[in-house]
Amino acid sequence: MKYIFGNWKMYLDYKQSVELANSLVKENLKNENVEIAVFPTALAMKDVTDILQENFKTGAQDAGHPSKGAYTGMISAEMYKNIGCTYALAGHSERRYIFGETNKDVRAKIESYLDAGLKTVVCIGETEQDRNNDKARYRLAKQILRAFEGLNFKEGQIIVAYEPVWAIGTGNACLPADAIDRIDFIKSEIAKYSQNIVPVLYGGSVDENNVLSYFSEDIIDGVLVGGASAKLDNFTDIIKNVLK
Ligand code: 13P
């Protein structure tokens, strides 16, 4: 199984998200060998999940780790699960670097998503500064250690997304050869903590023109697309290019 995931971030409001979901359904892009999921705003999650149900899965961009109670402003993993979500992202770099989430926070989220029965997409990636200081492997190894050491999970419950921070939203996608090298490293680091197969996706400025250069590589299990997934033409072209 390979994966095409679309993170709509905060690009689309409720109405636009529902419109995009309705348009995607009409494209009839379902495929047995490729799992497609979109990650809409929480506001539109229920509607988008209902609209896409026979075609694509949905996932939360983030969820709080307490499951219920006096946590103003939070939405729990369990609440997403209850309305039909399949996935949730943990540790997206925008959560880490804009909202100050630490590896400890990310780990708490991973555990709460697994408890709730959501498949967890653990996002990792080095910053530009890490890369310039030859610290990319150090950063990835640390994020993997904190996410996976002693973690109890079954095969199929976790996917990792390698998203170099410098490649996100910049148009400066990671060279496929470099993504392969990093993903090889990531898989060997994960193997230190788990025998389970953990698919690893690439994310960062993926579009309809470059998607195949990642997707066609055996070691890359799919793509996590941001900006281009929030536009009907770009996202359908990405999917069509992969499926043809
Ligand atoms: P872009 O595709 O816009 O670079 O975003 C990637 C991303 O952050 C997906 O989660």
Is residue 125 lining ligand 1, measured as CB closer than 6 Å?
Answer: no
CATH topology assigned to domain 2-243:
TIM Barrel (3.20.20)
Q: What is the pTM (predicted TM-score) of this model?
A: 0.98
Give domain limits for the chain: 2-243
Place of tokens 């230190």: 192
93 and 139 Cβ atoms separated by less than 8 Å = no
pLDDT (tens digit, 9 = 90+) per residue, 77-102? 999 999 999 999 999 999 999 999 99
Which residues lie closer than 8 Å to 65 by C-beta, 6 or more apart? 76, 77, 105, 108, 109, 111, 112
- Residue 146 CA to residue 102 CA, distance in Å, equals 10
Q: Which atom of ligand 1 is nearest to the CA of 206?
A: 2
Give the largest Cα separation in the chain, rounded.
49
Instruction: Provide the residue type at 128 as one letter.
Output: E
Catalytic residue among 35, 65, 78, 92: 92
Q: What is the pLDDT of residues 133-173, one digit of tens each?
A: 999 999 999 999 999 999 999 999 999 999 999 999 999 99
Ligand 1 atom at minimum distance from 207 CA: 2
Active site residue 149: no
65 labelled catalytic: no
Q: What are phi and psi of 120, to 5 degrees?
A: -110, 130
